[in-house]
Structure formats: C-alpha cells, structure tokens
Amino acid sequence: CRCGGTVGAILTCPLEVVKTRLQSSSVTLYISEVHLNTVNGASVNRVTRVSPGPLHCLKMILQNEGPRSLFRGLGPNLVGVAPSRAIYFAAYSNCKEKLNNIFNPDSTQVHMISAGVAGFTAITTTNPIWLVKTRLQLDARNRGEKRMSAFECVRKVYRSDGVKGFYRGMSASYAGISETVIHFVIYESIKRKLLEYKTVSAMDNEDESAKEASDFVGMMMAAATSKTCATSIAYPH
C-alpha cells in the first residue's frame, strides 16, 4: 500500500498541481473583447476576467514556468504519503477490529466509524506536510527564477504564524472525512458483492493465474468506482 501510494503520488503530481492552481482564486485569465455596438458608434475594448480550463492551465504552467513546475510539492508529498497511508490503514484496521466485537461484523456502521476515526487521525498528524505541499504548488515562478524550497516554505510559515500556522485548513480537511467514509462504504460494499459473485460462479474451475488477474481487476474497479463517487459527492470540501 505504501509503494502504491508513492507511485501514485509521482504519476499524478502534475494533475495535483493543475488541480491546486485551478482551485486557487488567483489563477485567472484576462481576455479582451471588442464591442462595436456603442452609443456613439465607436468600438470599445472590455477586459473580461475568466477562469482557465485544465488544459489551458497546464499550457500556462509549461510555457511560463517549465515542465519542472508540474512536480512542485512532490517532495513533501512523497514524505507524507507513506506515514499518512500507514497511519490511516493502521487506525482503520484497529478500529474495525474493535468495532466488530461491538456491532455486526463488517457492517456499514463499522466501516463508516472506522473510516471516520482513521481519517481524523491521519489528518491531525500529517496536516503540516500537506500545507507545505499546497504552498509549494501555488508558488508560481517564471522560468529562471529561484523556486521556494520546502525548507524555505517551513521557515516562512513558522515566521508568519508560528506552529499553529502549520495547522491552517485542518478544519476544512476534517470536512473531507466525509469523502473517506463514502469511499470506504462503497468500496467495502462492492468488494463484498465481488466476493459473493466469486463464490457462486464457476471460477473455481479456472487456473490460479486467471483467478488472481480477475481478482486484481475487480479490486481496481471497486477502488476506482468508490473513489470517483466519493470525490464527486464530497468535492466542495
């Protein structure tokens, strides 16, 4: 899981940078529009403020900052992804194991509470890492300009706000626990359905490699479907 998170962080870093830039209110374009129908017949130029789309934002970053800027914040992301996933899944497994002795084992209630506790624990312990990552991704510099490093970002945050500055946005991150809860409830439900289907199907007659490939694809589809649904529902957070 740690290796998967690390590989995923590297491959999706450019998308993370584009997403963070698009979420920032400072990323806008100014487009000049010419209007010929005026009172005195003269043409007037009006400047309109619009938000760029993902592809245009990607093009702007490549043109103005260079390809390296698509990997801004990757360092803190790699540092944070392993402990974050480790903390999350450890808390999820331990909480799930304890709750199975209290509620119906592997019920929706158990999955919801376990996911919520795990999300709260992971966010509280790793928020400073994600804050630094986001600040680095928003630090737009033209080609040739010196880029702010992670250590410089840490010093800047500490000088301006002290230790509490590293926990800015944590309340909004707590709202994101709803996404984690939705994700795991849907994932566990799909996984349970897949296991039931596997039990009643004729897969027992297939060779071991075919079954492993089928299980892998099934789990990937379950993870992708549940994550897409959860992200779409809880995205405003």
Query: Does residue 82 sit within a domain?
Result: yes
Q: What are phi and psi of 183, to 5 degrees?
A: -55, -50
Q: What percent of the chain has pLDDT over 70?
A: 81
CATH number of 86's domain: 1.50.40.10
User: How deeply is 224 buried, as exposed, middle or buried, from its count of CB atoms within 10 A (0-12, 13-18, 19+)?
Assistant: exposed
Residue 35 per-residue DSSP state: E
Residue 69 per-residue DSSP state: G
Domain that holds residue 145: 2-19+67-175
Q: Token match 């492993």: residue?
A: 212
> Helix or strand or coil: residue 31?
strand
Q: Residues 32, 49: contact at Cβ < 8 Å?
A: no
Using CA atoms, how far apart are residues 71 and 10, in angstroms rounded to an integer?
8
Using CA atoms, how far apart are residues 79 and 73, in angstroms rounded to an integer?
10
How far CA 151 is from CA of 14, 135, 155, in Å, comes to 21, 12, 6
Q: Token match 């995205």: residue?
A: 235
Mean per-residue pLDDT of the chain = 81
Per the structure, the count of domains in the chain is 1
Per-residue model confidence as pLDDT tens digits over 161-187: 999 999 998 988 898 888 988 988 899
Using CA atoms, how far apart are residues 82 and 80, in angstroms rounded to an integer?
6
Task: Tell me what the mean pLDDT of segment 15-29 comes to.
Answer: 78
Predicted pLDDT of residue 31: 44
Q: Which residue has the higher pLDDT, 231 or 4?
A: 231
Predicted pLDDT of residue 125: 92
Residue 148 has pLDDT above 50, yes or no: yes
Query: Does residue 208 sit within a domain?
Result: no
Predicted pLDDT of residue 207: 61
Residue 106 has pLDDT above 50, yes or no: yes
Predicted pLDDT of residue 41: 54
Per-residue model confidence as pLDDT tens digits over 71-105: 888 888 888 887 888 899 899 999 999 999 999 88
pTM for this entry = 0.67
The pLDDT confidence band at residue 12, using thresholds 50, 70 and 90, is confident
Residue 34 per-residue DSSP state: E
Per-residue model confidence as pLDDT tens digits over 40-55: 555 555 545 556 788 8
Query: Does residue 57 sit within a domain?
Result: no
Using CA atoms, how far apart are residues 25 and 155, in angstroms rounded to an integer?
24
The pLDDT confidence band at residue 33, using thresholds 50, 70 and 90, is very low
Query: Does residue 127 sit within a domain?
Result: yes
